[in-house]
Structure 1
Amino acid sequence: MTRQTTMLNAYTPGAGHLSPEDEALAQRRAKALGPAYRLFYETPVHLVRGEGVHLYAPDGTRYLDCYNNVASVGHCHPRVVEALSRQAATLATHTRYLHDGILAYAEQLLALFPPELSHVMFTCTGSEANDLALRIARAATGGTGVIVTDNAYHGVTLATAEMSMSIGPAVAPGPTVFPIPAPSAQNYPSGIAEGFAAAVSAACDRMQAQGIRPALLIVDTIFSSDGVFPDPPGFLVPAAAAIRKAGGLFLADEVQPGFGRTGSQFWGFQRHGVIPDMVSMGKPMGNGYPMAGLAVRPDTIAEFGQKARYFNTFGGNAVAAAVGLAVLDVIRDEGLQQNALTVGTAFAEGLRGLAGRHDAIGETRAAGLFIGQTILTDGRPDPARTARLVNALRDNHILISSTGPRGDSLKIRPPLPFSLSDVDRVLTTLDRLLPSL
Structure 2
Amino acid sequence: MPNAYVPGVGNLSAKYEAMIERRARVLGPAYRLMYETPLHLVRGEGVWLYDEEGRAYLDAYNNVASLGHCHPRVVEAIREQVGILATNTRYIHGLILDYAERLVATFPAELSQVMFACTGSEANDLAMRIARAFTGGTGIVVTENAYHGISEAVACFSPSLGQAVDLGMHVRTVPAPDAYRVAGSDVGGKFTADVEAAIADLKRHGIKPAALIVDTLFTSDGVLPGPKGFLAGAVDAIHAAGGIFVADEVQPGFGRAGDAMWGFQRHDVVPDLVTLGKPMGNGHPISAVVMRPEVCDEFGRNARYFNTFGGNAVSCAAAMAVLRTIEEDGLMANSARVGGYLTEGIRGISEGHDAVGDVRGAGLFIGVEIVTDRANRSPDRQRASRIVNRMRDLGVLISVTGKFHNALKIRPPLVFTEANADRFIAAMDEALKTTG
Corresponding position of 1:174: 168
Corresponding position: 1:59 with 2:57: no
State which of 387, 395, 403 in structure 2 corresponds to 1:405. Answer: 403
The code of the aligned residue for 1:417 comes to V
**Structure 2, unpaired ranges of 5+:** none
C-alpha distance in 2 between matches for 1:22 and 1:81: 30
User: For 1:77-125, what per-residue CA distance to the aligned partner results, in whole angstroms no more than 9, with x for missing partners?
Assistant: 0110000011111110000000001000000001000010011000000
Q: How far did 1:20 drift?
A: 2.0
Corresponding position of 1:278: 273
State which of 71, 74, 84 in structure 2 corresponds to 1:80. Answer: 74
Q: TM-score, normalised by structure 2?
A: 0.97
What's the secondary structure of 1:329's corresponding residue?
A: helix
Corresponding position of 1:232: 227
- What is the alpha-carbon root mean square deviation over aligned residues? 1.1
C-alpha distance in 1 between matches for 2:162 and 2:184: 28
C-alpha distance in 2 between matches for 1:16 and 1:112: 47
Q: How far did 1:359 drift?
A: 1.2
Corresponding position of 1:390: 388
Divergent runs of 4+, >3 A: none
State which of 147, 150, 164 in structure 2 corresponds to 1:156. Answer: 150
Q: How far did 1:377 drift?
A: 2.1
Corresponding position: 1:38 with 2:23: no
User: For 1:181-219, what per-residue CA distance to the aligned partner results, in whole angstroms no more than 9, with x for missing partners?
Assistant: 001132585311111111111111101100000000000
**Structure 1, unpaired ranges of 5+:** none
User: For 1:300-345, what per-residue CA distance to the aligned partner results, in whole angstroms no more than 9, with x for missing partners?
Assistant: 0011111110000000001011111100111122211111000111
The 5-angstrom pairing of residues 107-126 of structure 1 reads 107-126=101-120
Corresponding position of 2:418: 420
Q: How far did 1:30 drift?
A: 1.1
State which of 105, 126, 131 in structure 1 corresponds to 2:125. Answer: 131
State which of 354, 362, 369 in structure 2 corresponds to 1:359. Answer: 354
Determine if contact 2:141/2:198 at 8 Å carries over to the other structure.
yes
What's the secondary structure of 1:381's corresponding residue?
A: coil
Number of aligned positions between the proteins: 431
C-alpha distance in 2 between matches for 1:214 and 1:300: 15
C-alpha distance in 2 between matches for 1:47 and 1:196: 41
Determine if contact 2:370/2:381 at 8 Å carries over to the other structure.
yes
C-alpha distance in 2 between matches for 1:251 and 1:334: 29
Moved more, 331-340 or 251-260: 331-340
C-alpha distance in 1 between matches for 2:202 and 2:126: 22
Determine if contact 2:369/2:407 at 8 Å carries over to the other structure.
yes
Corresponding position: 1:8 with 2:8: no
C-alpha distance in 2 between matches for 1:30 and 1:194: 48
C-alpha distance in 2 between matches for 1:92 and 1:276: 32
C-alpha distance in 1 between matches for 2:202 and 2:356: 40
Corresponding position of 1:145: 139
Corresponding position of 1:50: 44
Q: TM-score, normalised by structure 1?
A: 0.97
Q: How far did 1:431 drift?
A: 1.7
C-alpha distance in 1 between matches for 2:183 and 2:190: 5
The code of the aligned residue for 2:108 comes to P
Moved more, 185-194 or 331-340: 185-194
Corresponding position of 1:23: 17
User: For 1:391-410, what per-residue CA distance to the aligned partner results, in whole angstroms no more than 9, with x for missing partners?
Assistant: 00001111100010111010
